[in-house]
Structure 1
Amino acid sequence: MTHILRNRFLGSATVGERGQIVIPAGARREYGLEIGDKIMVFASRHGLGLMLIKAEHVTRMLSDTIDQLGKIVQASANPDEVTE
């Protein structure tokens, strides 16, 4: 099964005059989106749409990635001292 078939439809939105959209209530509940939350907007993998991700999740993912990269660098410098 391709990745696109795993996507779920969560509702629809209309772009308003000022470029704003309203995220459907069910999607906001499911993903814990609250008034004032910061959302980062990314182009989808194949450029067919947009991805919305809470900013706090992006910073956490980046922090985890940096930690993992540090471990890789350490392991390559000291292959006898590899830690998990």
Structure 2
Amino acid sequence: MKKVKRSSVVEPEFYGTATVGTKGQIVIPNEVRKRYDIKTGDKLVIFSGEGGVIAIMKSDKLNDLLKGISAIAK
């Protein structure tokens, strides 16, 4: 049987909390912005899942993921 490497999606990391402000905005913790190279003006994609899970991904990373899936499908 082929061994599958676990990803951070399977084992999420906790970075703290964020409070929703009066305009519906949240501040992404500095440690997260540094780790994922999130800069002012970057576009982020927001997903939701079962049980109230919300995930955020840089849009350029989503594009890379979709291109990879498309290449595999060909």
Asked whether the two chains share a fold, i.e. TM above 0.5, the reply is: yes
Tell me which protein shows more helix as a share of its residues: 1
TM bracket (short chain):
0.7 to 0.9
Report how many aligned residue pairs link the two structures. 67
Say whether 1:20 aligns with 2:16. no
Consecutive aligned runs of 4 or more in structure 1 exceeding 3 Å deviation: none
Rg: which structure is higher? 1
Instruction: State the match for 2:58 in structure 1.
Output: 54
Match of 1:37 among 26, 42, 47: 42
Percent identical across equivalent pairs?
31
Relative to the length of structure 2, the TM-score reads: 0.80
**Gapped regions of structure 1 (runs ≥ 5):** 71-84
**Gapped regions of structure 2 (runs ≥ 5):** 1-7
Q: Secondary structure at the match of 2:32?
A: helix
- What value does the CA root-mean-square deviation take over the aligned residues? 2.0
Instruction: State the match for 1:66 in structure 2.
Output: 70
